[in-house]
Structure 1
Amino acid sequence: MPTMYLFGSAAPPVLQVAPIITDLRGRGWDVCLGLTPTAADWLRDDLRGLEELTGHPVRSHYKRPGEADAWPKADVILFAPVTANSLNQWALCLTSSFVVGVVAEGIGKRIPIVAMPCVNAAYAAHPQIERSVDTLRAAGVTVLYGDGGFIPNQPGEKRDYPWELALAAAEAKAFEGR
């Protein structure tokens, strides 16, 4: 069974992660869920259920040196939703959070990675967002942003997050070249 690391940061679509995991499990994926500390706090009442759903501990912090890894090796990493904060930290290799550290290192390990930001138009207007997207794409990350990916909405505007695009891209990336 292939393994997908599903990572999320604190944007509203992270609250939809349980049905996404159920969908992935139904497609034959072993799913390991990683969250930024704030996303983990948002989901704190659901963490036990998410662990039962995945069969793995939900991680939001680094393990201690010498501790065994609780997860199997990833065949692909899907980081969705990615906030402006996590996107910029990742592009700049600022690895204070577990999920950002794993994806930053994942580039060097050549793990297939797909990311789909979730930023509103006010954040998207900041020039660092495009620089970060360009940096990650140049490093081989599939970033679903703009045409064919996430289109920023106006602040406060509610729109469905295009999970199906992220899932399809992650599955394609996992089996690319096999």
Structure 2
Amino acid sequence: MNSEHNIKQAITYPAIATAALLMIPLIAMQFSNDVVWTLSDFIFAGIMIFGTGFTYKLVTGKSGNVAYRVAVGFALFTGFFLIWSNLAVGLIGSENNEFNLLYFLVIGVGVMGAFIARFKAIGLMITLLSMAATQAIIAIAALFSGMAEVPESSAYEILAVNGFFVTLFVVAAMLFRYAAEEQASENE
């Protein structure tokens, strides 16, 4: 019974949040010609929003550690924001620039690292630092491969946008470090 309730809760809350967030562009479309979403936009956004919320509920479901829950939320939000902005406008040039596909490596490092770390705080700290390093390597590769010459992109923009995401991943890593220290002090 309790397990069934937890599963329903893990699905219900993200589903309600997803529906509420999708109402924003739906309502905006009624009043502005600047917001134009297709059915596939709503489906993709719904999958991303629900998937992020559901993942949060699954990963933090049994954790009473507030720092861990905050760290998981911050890390998931950062990954979500990376994917969303990359698909919406692209981090290098436009969203159609194939170089932007490399940013999915950052997410892949995160997913693999989380499973390898078994979702333990100290392992997730290392994972987030690895994601930050991957993001930085992609930025360096973009600069050395001439992506700063692509229209809608400059060396400053590449460094600023990637530096922003590197910073977010490092902050998430430090939140996991704090959560690990908190768990260790609770176990003493």
Q: Normalising by structure 2, what TM-score?
A: 0.23
Whichever structure has more helix as a proportion of its residues is 2
Question: Which has the greater radius of gyration?
Answer: 2
Whichever structure has more strand as a proportion of its residues is 1
